[in-house]
Amino acid sequence: MEGFLVSIATISVAEIGDRTQLLSLLLAARFRRPWPIIAGIFCATLANHAVAGFVGVWFGSLLQPRTLQVVVGISMIAMALWTLKPDKLGQNAGTASAMGAFLATLTSFFIAEIGDKTQIATLALAAAYPSLLAVVSGTTAGMMLANVPVVFLGKAFADRLPLKAIHFGAAVLFTLLGVMFLLRALWQ
């Protein structure tokens, strides 16, 4: 249960202001069809985070428990620093062909998540917690918690968020998690 709760909290906070959240906003404005966009976000996130989770489990199996705790702790602190740098969409992000809202969202979201901080966090969490299902479920739910309101409420919602404070809060959360893992390594 801890793996699920840490995963959902970490990702839902870290996703606020992330490029994939900006992509959600762009797709919602372009297609104005929330349900196919939400379905595309869900499927892309689930697939992307499942792959990251499997890689994390494999990576975690290569390390001794103490070393794994240190690696995850350091990666969480690195994520804290990364969270403080706001994301921006690239020039061609959000452009879509006639594939429709679902396929445009599915492909653009999956690609945008590759190497993103939420994917890397999923990899680290999967390495740290024994239940891959709990981690992938938590990270996927966290992505949905952060992105679904943006799809429904659009720009009016996004413009009212105190992004600097949220990014700082996410950085604090990642730092606390990093310290927790480092302390676990000391106590093993």
DSSP string, 123-138: HHHHHHSS-HHHHHHH
pLDDT category of residue 24 using cuts at 50, 70 and 90: confident
Predicted structure pTM score: 0.72
Q: d(Cα 43, Cα 49) in Å, to the nearest integer?
A: 10
* Interval 83-108 mean pLDDT: 63
Tell whether the model's pLDDT for residue 90 goes beyond 50.
no
Q: pLDDT tens across 136-166, in order? A: 999 999 999 999 998 988 756 555 656 677 6
Q: d(Cα 185, Cα 180) in Å, to the nearest integer?
A: 9
Count CB neighbours of 98 within 10 A.
Answer: 6
